[in-house]
Amino acid sequence: MPQLKRIHTISFLVLLLVVFILVLFIFKPFVNIIALAVILAILFHPVYVRLLPRVKYPSIASFLTVLLIVLIFAVPIFFFGQVIYSEINSLYERYSNGGFVIDKGQIISSLPEPVRNTVQNLSADINAFIGRLSSQAFSSFSSVLSNIAGFVVATFMLFFIVYYLLKDGTKIKEVVKDISPISSAHENKLIDKIVAAVNGVVKGSFIIALFQGVIATAGFLIFGVPEPFLWGLFTVLAALVPNVGTALSIVPAIIYLLIIGQTPQAIGLLIWGMVAVGLVDNFLGPKLVGSATKLHPVLVLLAVIGGLKFFGILGFLIGPILLAIFVALIDMYRNDFKEYLV
């Protein structure tokens, strides 16, 4: 009988492993959405906890919290979208009314030789690309529509998951604790590490974004970009976008300066963005996040780069969080399990 029970147990575990792997494949396309939903739920859980006693019902508190998250993201995007549209429209009207004349040859000839050669080669590539656009217009339009539809579905899924993570978070945590092989004390320690890592990475990212916004604003002022404080505020938001970051605000400002014929200022702003703004992200970033998560800055930098490569745009959050979990498990092993295994 003991032998038969062992066979049944092993068979059950094999079946469980096979089903678990299949479930992972099912959820694989949604890993980033689920990860972002978990991060948002952790960040805004204090808001949910504050609202719950006032509205009495978990569903209403969860809905109001999700609505707040939507507003935090939507309002700045709408506001800056309006501002950017207005600036582009104003620029177009100036150009149409002869407010300035673009001398492309003069702009290119004033650039340093390596940059000039690159621009000329790029211009040739762009012309060839434009020649192919007409034949690909329909497929490109279909692709854009498909991407928009995918974005809408992903956004709905994100907030749908956040809603239920907030509403049923306590139940979910109890289920995870129930199936976890480690003790309750270790579970609580691990959860605290995860929450601290999420808060540390996000707060560190916001502080870095503020620093970059201030430095970029100084550059916009020095090199004569109109509405420098508005563009500086936009830089703060752009700095929160992984991979692209401050380029979202600095590159359009450089192009604007080139268009109006202020080539030296454009080159100066380019150098300012690469050196001053870039140094904050590359050196201050890992230090701040490392301090908040109690991880070495070198490890944080590697975790961010590796996370971006493996998980895509959300890797800058997921990488350091996974590293913090790994370090927490190593601490648990060293303090509580090592003596039993040596």
Domain coordinates of the chain in residue numbers?
182-342
Give the chain's largest Cα–Cα span.
94
Separation of alpha carbons 242 and 206, rounded Å? 12
Pairwise CA distance, residues 303 & 290, whole Å: 11
Per-residue pLDDT, 315? 79
Give the pLDDT band of residue 339 (cuts 50, 70, 90).
low
Residues 126-151, mean pLDDT to the nearest whole number: 56
Choice between 313 and 102, residue whose per-residue pLDDT is larger:
313
DSSP 342: -
Length of the chain in terms of residues written: 342
Model confidence band, residue 254 (pLDDT cutoffs 50, 70, 90): confident
C-alpha–C-alpha distance, residues 314 and 34, integer Å: 11
Distance of alpha carbon 10 from alpha carbon 310, whole angstroms:
33
Confidence of residue 144 (pLDDT cuts 50, 70, 90): low
- Quick one: average pLDDT of 158-162? 91
Q: What is the mean pLDDT of the chain?
A: 75
Distance CA 169, CA 41 (A): 9
Name all contacts of 333-341 with Cβ < 8 Å and 24+ positions apart.
Answer: 336/186
Query: How far is Cα 234 from Cα 240, in angstroms, rounded to an integer?
Result: 10
113-122, 163-172, 178-187, 251-260: range with lowest mean pLDDT: 113-122
Tell me the pLDDT tens digit for each residue of 194-229.
Answer: 777 777 777 777 888 888 888 888 888 888 888 788
Summarize pLDDT for 92-131 with one digit per residue, the tens: 666 555 554 444 555 555 555 555 555 555 555 545 544 5
Does residue 174 sit in helix, strand or coil? Answer: helix
What pLDDT is recorded for position 64? 93
Burial class (CB in 10 A: 0-12, 13-18, 19+), 277: buried
Confidence of residue 62 (pLDDT cuts 50, 70, 90): very high
SS in 3 state form for 209-254? Answer: HHHHHHHHHHHHHHCCCCCHHHHHHHHHHHCCCCCCCCHHHHHHHH
Of the candidates 46, 334, 289, 291, which has an alpha carbon nearest to the alpha carbon of residue 186? 334
Contact 216, 228 (CB under 8 A): no
User: Which of 243, 302, 329, 317 lies closest to 37 in space, CA to CA?
Assistant: 317
- The answer, yes or no, to whether residue 66 has pLDDT greater than 90, is yes
Read off the pLDDT band of 29 (50, 70, 90). confident
Check residue 111 and report its DSSP letter: S
**Cα gap 180→158, rounded to integer Å:** 26
